[in-house]
Amino acid sequence: MSGRAAAILNRVAQAVPVVIGVVVISFLLTRALPGDPAVQFAGVAATPESIEQVRVALGLDKSLPEQFVIYVGQLIQGDLGQSVSTGRPVSVELASRLPASLELTLTALIVSCLIAIPLGVLAATKPGSWIDQLCRILVTAGVSLPTFFTGIVLIYVFYYLLGIAPSPLGRLDFIYLEPPRVTGFFLIDAAIIGDWQTWFGALKQLILPAATLALFTLAPIARMTRAAMLSALSADFVRTARAAGLGRQKVLFGYAFRNALLPVVTTLGMVFSFVLGANVLVEKVFAWPGIGSYAVEALVVSDYAAVQGFVLAMAMLFVLLNLIIDLTYTAIDPRFGTSAK
């Protein structure tokens, strides 16, 4: 047990240089961006004098090392700076938008796991059967349809033609008020105060965008589950278990599935990270006030503080995610941490 604790601590410590690296790189990269924020923010009819006034106001007249020292000093105090484009502190901005993206992404991932994993398992147990073919079709469709396309088609069919989906206007229709903020996840916050009206309102808005993302994430998860199950089912220990006369269920879930889970969890981690990226387009199509559209907007107008804050927040999220995945390994595979250090 202590070996495992040490391994976990070691994993946490490994995150520190990553975070420092992200701080330096995000600072330098934003400065290397094309475009001059002073010109951008001085407005349409700016004169050279007014551009200069803006440059001074934004602190961009100082040298790069000076700017970096100021930035790190603020970071240590937990201040991510002020976003010029929205005029609000970047931390406030991220805190209000990250939950929206996470709620959407996590819902989509849960839905796609609920479909993809059983589908993958079934496809692997009956290769070549109709369910295997169905799995193949879904996987092909999922990888070949871009998210914004799926999103627009879903809107067209379910909202525009059939009129059964709510209008794609973000997280809540405006006849509802946002639930008081606890986690920032509307489904959880509304449930906490028992406001089921709002809860259903939020759920209805979630269905189409989550379905869009779920279709996209289904493919790698189903494919990986199928492949991992196939290789587990043909492994020696399954043959032995079968030979020993263990029940079909026991062999399938007790031995094969448990061993197939490791690559599936690894895939899940990867899928989560690229879905947060793919979110941008889905957020645009469904007017979802998430972090992706915010980051793109900030990049377009060279809003340094916002871009740095976004990169930093994402880096932290991925460090955390990788940590969670590693810890999940220990739950699935008890050997973790005992042989390595």
Partner 1 sequence: MSFSRRSFLQTGAALMAGLPLARAIPVTAAPLDTLVIATGQTINSLDLHRTGTNRPSYQIAINCYDRLITFGSKELEDGSLSFDYTKIEPELAESWTTSEDGLTITFKLKPNAVFWDGRKVTAADVKWSFDRAVSVGGFPTTQMQAGGLTRPDQFEAVDEETFVVKLDQASKLSLPDLAVPVPFIINSEVAKANVTEDDPWAMEYLHTNPAGSGAYKVARWDNGQQIVFERFDGWVGGPLPEIPRVIQREVPSPATRRALVERGDVHISFDIPDKDAAELADKLTVYSTPIANTIHVVGINYEFEPFQDSNVRKAIAYAIPYEEIFQTAAYGRGAPLWGGEAEISDTVWPRKSPYFTDIEKAQELMAASAYPEGFSVPMSISTDLSSWMEPTALLIQEALGKIGITTEIEKIPGANWRTASLVEKRLPLHLENFGGWLDTPDYYFFWAYMEGNLFNSSNYANAEVQALTEETLPMAQDDPQYLPKISRMFEIAFEDLPRIPLYQPALNVAVNGAEGYEFWFHRQLDIRSLKGTGEA
* Contacts to partner 1 by CB under 8 A: 33-36, 39-47, 50-51, 53-54, 57-58, 84-88, 93, 96-97, 148, 152, 155-156, 159-160, 163, 167-170, 173-177, 179, 195-198, 283-287, 289, 293-294, 297, 299-302
* CA dihedral sign, ordered 279, 283, 288, 290: positive
How far apart are CB 308 and partner 1 at their closest, in Å? 15
Q: What is the rounded distance in angstroms from the CA atom of residue 279 to the CA atom of residue 293?
A: 8
Q: What length is written for the chain?
A: 341
Measured from the CB atom, the residue of 26 and 293 that comes closer to partner 1 is 293
How far apart are CB 143 and partner 1 at their closest, in Å? 23
Q: Is 187 helix (H, G, I), strand (E, B) or coil?
A: helix
How far apart are CB 185 and partner 1 at their closest, in Å? 16
Measured from the CB atom, the residue of 132 and 283 that comes closer to partner 1 is 283
Q: Within 10 A of 244 (CB to CB), how many other CB atoms are there?
A: 8
Measured from the CB atom, the residue of 142 and 290 that comes closer to partner 1 is 290
Contact yes or no for 246/76 (Cβ under 8 A): no
Helix or strand (DSSP H, E) at 310:
helix 304-332
Measured from the CB atom, the residue of 61 and 258 that comes closer to partner 1 is 61
Q: For residue 123, give the amino acid letter.
A: A
Contact yes or no for 105/318 (Cβ under 8 A): no
Measured from the CB atom, the residue of 189 and 326 that comes closer to partner 1 is 189
The first and second tokens of residue 211, run together, are 């379905």
How far apart are CB 50 and partner 1 at their closest, in Å? 5
Q: Is 82 helix (H, G, I), strand (E, B) or coil?
A: strand
Task: With CA atoms as reference, report the closest residue to 257 among 223, 237, 240, 232.
Answer: 232
Measured from the CB atom, the residue of 175 and 340 that comes closer to partner 1 is 175
Name 199's bridge partners: none
How far apart are CB 184 and partner 1 at their closest, in Å? 13
How far apart are CB 264 and partner 1 at their closest, in Å? 33
